[in-house]
Amino acid sequence: MSDQLLVTPLHAMHIEMGAKMVPFAGYDMPVQYALGVKKEHLHCRQEAGLFDVSHMGQLRLKGANAAAALEALVPVDIIDLPNGKQRYAFFTNEQGGISDDLMVTNFGDHLFIVVNAACKTQDIAHLQAHLPADVELEIIEDRALLAIQGPKSVEVLAKLNPAVTNMVFMDAEKIELVGVECYVSRSGYTGEDGFEISVPATYANELATALLANDEVEWIGLGARDSLRLECGLCLYGHDLDDTTTPVEANLLWGISKARRADGIRAGGFIGSDLILEQIATKNVTRKRIGLVGQSKAPVREDTKLFDANDNEIGIVTSGTFGPSKGMPVAMAYVASDFTAIGTEIYAEVRGKKLPMTVEKMPFVAQSYYRG
């Protein structure tokens, strides 16, 4: 097996722009550009940031039973997902754990799915193992994926096609940009208004160049992508979610559709549903995902141990950084259920010192999705 890193169709452009490249999920990816992580982060919050997310997996499900087949694998209402709408979902396993989170779009003639880069091989195998013979899984190899995020993103993208101004959060349409059909959704991973664009790989550079021609737009790397999503309370798979963590422990009840709950019209029926529905009913979990803010300036990183006032270990940080917009350290963590109340003081062990942190409601920075 080759150790060679894969590259996205925009790789040469990142090099040309002076990006610092790092290995990520098997790809050579830009972690930051000349602006640096903090300025990139703030630029995205104030204007518009362009992200290359072509390392993500893009899939199509086709067939009359595609929605029902996918619904058997996620605790989400896929059967009644309207044409032109996108929904957040996650694959669950027999133990009720989350094996990946994903975005599902109904384009009428097919379901379009975007999965995490690090999980795409296992996700494809999972789908192949469970899909009935009359549902076709197509692995899309010839499209790039770009995200433009931030308050100026709509006016920038509207210069290429004004139709995007009619879209609201979680709308998805096939829209022509730079002379080619793109799959455009009004969504993203920053908490800001913005769009994700699946574009044929041969047009990726042309689209990126057209967007970057606007003074409001700057390339944003993986570093700022991480701090942006963390400030807005969005989970990162493999860190804040994994195959040992249930949606109830992860505080993702909002992601379990009403139709699939115990009193829903299509209750259960997904892998691990008995355990998950029981946890919802009894609220009986020993740990939960929470948000924490630091009381000092020192960032508290992933894998930092957490303690109560009596020096008992009660949990661990799964994501942590200094939040440039928040102006203080922010973290996600799993702690014992007794310590999840807003305002609870918890202590993080950093270089032998116990730093006080406070449980705070997420998102830490208000989300700015455009809902019309």
In this prediction, residue 105 carries a pLDDT of 98
Domain 58-138 of CATH type 3.30.70.1400: yes
pLDDT at 221 over 50: yes
d(CA 135, CA 208): 34
Write the DSSP string, 120-186.
HHHHHHHHHHHS-TTSEEEEE-SEEEEEEESTTHHHHHHTT-GGGGG--TTBEEEEEETTEEEEEES
Average pLDDT of the segment spanning 127-141: 98
Residue-wise pLDDT tens digits, 2-59: 579 999 999 999 999 999 999 999 999 999 999 999 999 999 999 999 999 999 999 9
Read off the pLDDT band of 288 (50, 70, 90). Answer: very high
Gyration radius of the chain over CA positions: 21
What is the mean pLDDT of the segment spanning 67-82? 98
Does pLDDT of 69 surpass 90? yes
**What pLDDT does 3 receive?**
74
Contact 259, 77 (CB under 8 A): yes
Q: Does residue 82 have a cis peptide bond before it, meaning omega lies within 30 degrees of 0?
A: no
Q: Outline where the chain has alpha helix (H).
A: 11-16, 37-46, 66-71, 120-130, 153-158, 204-212, 222-231, 273-282
Contact between 194 and 188 (Cβ < 8 Å): yes
Q: Residue 1 pLDDT more than 90?
A: no
What is the second-level CATH architecture of the domain 11-56+142-228? 2-Layer Sandwich (3.30)
Residue 254, pLDDT > 50, answer yes
The pLDDT of residue 342 = 98
Give the pLDDT mean for 178-199. Answer: 98
Q: Which CATH code is given to the segment(s) 253-360?
A: 2.40.30.110
- Residue ranges, comma separated, of all CATH 3.30.1360.120 domains in the chain are 11-56+142-228
Q: Is 0.85 topped by the overall pTM?
A: yes
Q: CA-based angle 193:190:70, to the nearest 5? A: 90
Positions of CATH 2.40.30.110 in the chain:
253-360
The whole-number pLDDT of residue 195 equals 99
Instruction: Quote the mean pLDDT of the chain.
Output: 97
Side chain identity, residue 121: T
At residue 279, the pLDDT reads 98
**CATH 3.30.70.1400 domain span(s) along the chain:** 58-138
Give residue-wise pLDDT tens across range 98-111: 999 999 999 999 99
The answer to whether the beta carbons of residues 63 and 150 sit under 8 Å apart is no
Average pLDDT of the residues in 361-368: 98
Model pLDDT for residues 314-363, shown as the tens digit of each residue: 999 999 999 999 999 999 999 999 999 999 999 999 999 999 999 999 99
At a CB cut-off of 8 Å and minimum separation 6, what does 271 contact?
72, 73, 91, 92, 93, 94
Checking if the pLDDT of 117 tops 60, the result is yes
Residue 292 has pLDDT above 50, yes or no: yes
Cα distance between residue 96 and residue 272, in whole Å: 4
